[in-house]
Amino acid sequence: MLSKSQISLLKSLQHKKFRKEHGLFLVEGYKSVVEFVNTAYQVDTIYHTPAIAPKMLNLSRKINFQEISLTDLEKISSLKTPQEVIGLVKMPVWPALNYNTLKNRFSLVLDGVQDPGNMGTIIRTADWFGITNIICSEDTVDVYNPKVVQATMGSLARVNVHYTDLATTLPKINLPVYGAMLDGENMYATNFGSEGLLVMGNEGNGLRPKIQALISKKVTIPRVGHAESLNVAIATAILCSEIKRNSLK
């Protein structure tokens, strides 16, 4: 059983302020928790219902396990339909971004993406395409937001997400900077080469002018129909697919 103060602490982690204060975040669902167990992330405690206890035996013994009631689990879950396992994970302290690790590959840059579902889906898509670094503006939604963690479906355990001031960071990375913009070059005719950054903007406003100024090539997904725009996670995925296309044919 969880004490009142434990429940209060765990519930507080739905808010960025308290995640930062405690250096902890929650991962919900057995499959997602398992993804974190064998990575550099430190899983502090796994809370689970009695029903799922047998499945816990396969996991590392270095973790604390705590059996709790479904009622307690529902109290700490941020999901409408809580799952039977919640992991309490330590927020890693990222070393400063080493620009050399970005060479000979593509990385994503997010300029103010706000929607947690979009952010999580972008991380999942990046993981699918083998993109391991995402560089975000300071005002991009927090990656440890429970809705982001959920939407990554475990991929967060494998993708490094850095927050930084893009305007000062991008010029220091000596790589081609592709920006998704409505007035860009047809992406199907673009030669993306083998390394670079792909910059995606905010859902409503796109790229900020000072970030637009740092783009070396604007690219566009040509439109046939009438939708005014594409969802940012969708546009990111289509561009990632096009960038990786030549190496995957």
By CB under 8 A, name the binding residues for a second copy. Answer: 117, 121, 124-132, 151, 153-155, 158, 186, 188-189, 221-231, 233-234, 237-238, 241-242, 244-245, 247-249
Q: How far is the CB of 66 from a second copy (least distance, A)?
A: 27
CB nearer to a second copy: pick between 209 and 225? 225
154: left (phi over 0), alpha (psi -120 to 50) or beta: left
Shortest Å, Cβ 169 to a second copy: 24
| Distance of alpha carbon 138 from alpha carbon 212, whole angstroms | 17
The residue (of 167 and 221) whose beta carbon lies closer to a second copy is 221
User: Minimum CB separation from a second copy for residue 98, in Å?
Assistant: 20
What does the DSSP 8-state code read for residue 91? P
- Please, which residue, 68 or 240, has the CB nearer to a second copy? 240
12 alpha carbon, distance to own chain's centre: 21
d(CA 159, CA 35): 12
Question: Cβ closer to a second copy: 2 or 237?
Answer: 237
Contact 88, 44 (CB under 8 A): yes
DSSP symbol at 96: P
Nearest residue (CB) to a second copy, 165 versus 228: 228
Determine the length of the chain: 249
Query: The dihedral of CA 21, 91, 11, 63: what is its sign?
Result: negative
Residue 225 C-beta: closest distance to a second copy, Å? 4
Q: Considering the complex, state which of residue 87 and residue 154 has its C-beta at the smaller distance from a second copy.
A: 154
Q: How far is the CB of 186 from a second copy (least distance, A)?
A: 7
How far is the C-alpha of 185 from the C-alpha of 211, rounded, in Å?
A: 18
What does the alpha-carbon distance between residue 13 and residue 21 come to, in Å, rounded to a whole number? 9
Nearest CA to 122 among 210, 29, 202? 202
- Kindly state the smallest distance separating residue 1's Cβ from a second copy, in Å: 32
